[in-house]
Amino acid sequence: MFARVEGDLQVWRFEGRDLPPITMTLRLAEAARAAVMRIAQARSGSPLLPSCLHGPSAPGAAHRHAYWLPLDLDDDGLIDHLAVHVPVGLSDAASTLLDRLGSVDLHGWGQLAAVPTKPPSALIGPARLWLSDLPFVGPLHAHAHDPARPRPGRSAVAQLARELGRLGRALPGADIQTIDGPDAAAFLAGSRAMRLPTQPVCGWFALQFDAVVAGPLAVGFGSHFGLGLLRPRDD
């Protein structure tokens, strides 16, 4: 059973003893993107990135541009790797920029040396069972007055199912089950650039697909900066 990674994937290993906690995922992903923007500025005089790294061309477009994914591959609570997954594929210009990424300057933490490495199976799979590695955050708020009673279609499960369909991938059907996980608030506090959804709906999930799929797989608000990351598991 084999499923091929869509698009292009590059992975770096962070070196050093003082690595940031996984709750700094958003900040580190934003810092990694900013590092590549500085490389672009130095090369061309403009920080604007190629479209495959920058974002969709229109609101509501499929999520085919870059995902900047900090990873804790040894499950010790510290970010030890960075993956950049581009489902639409890297242009030559984008590939040149990423090839020059050698460090990430994390504000308030310091500079992290980044060494290219092979994509790990713990990120790719393929597998039928995928579990939340970081919390899913729905892009829509729950309710104007009572977050404990979300509007129809705005529960975490409903939003997750809808967001899977916006990935621009031909994913098989999936059985979605809620699982236990830490409070998502700590993961949401780290962003320095994104405007968080009001009264966010969050959750941790197990997705049992009808057929094997390959990762990386991240979905929901902040997924292009690491939130909503799912990891493959043996079922």
In tens, the pLDDT along 78-125 reads: 999 999 999 999 999 999 999 999 999 998 889 999 999 999 989 999
Token code pair at residue 186: 């700590």
Predicted pLDDT at 7? 85
What pLDDT is attached to residue 139? 85
Query: For residue 14, what are its two tokens?
Result: 């962070």
Report the alpha-carbon distance of residue 161 to residue 148 in Å, rounded: 19
Note the pTM of the prediction, 2 decimals: 0.90
Spatial separation of the C-alpha atoms in residues 11 and 22, rounded to whole Å: 17
Ranges of residues in the chain whose predicted pLDDT is under 70: 1-4, 56-63, 141-153, 190, 192-193, 235
Q: How many whole angstroms separate alpha carbon 10 and alpha carbon 123? A: 12
pLDDT attached to residue 17: 81
CA 207-211-217 angle, 5° bins:
50
Rounded to a whole number, what is the distance in angstroms from the first to the last CA of the chain?
A: 14
Among 38, 60, 116, smallest CA distance to 84 is for 116
Unique residue bearing structure tokens 């190629």:
50
Residue 124 backbone dihedrals phi, psi, to 5 degrees: -95, -40
| Domain ranges within the chain, ordered by starting residue | 8-120, 122-233
Which CATH code fits 8-120? 3.30.70
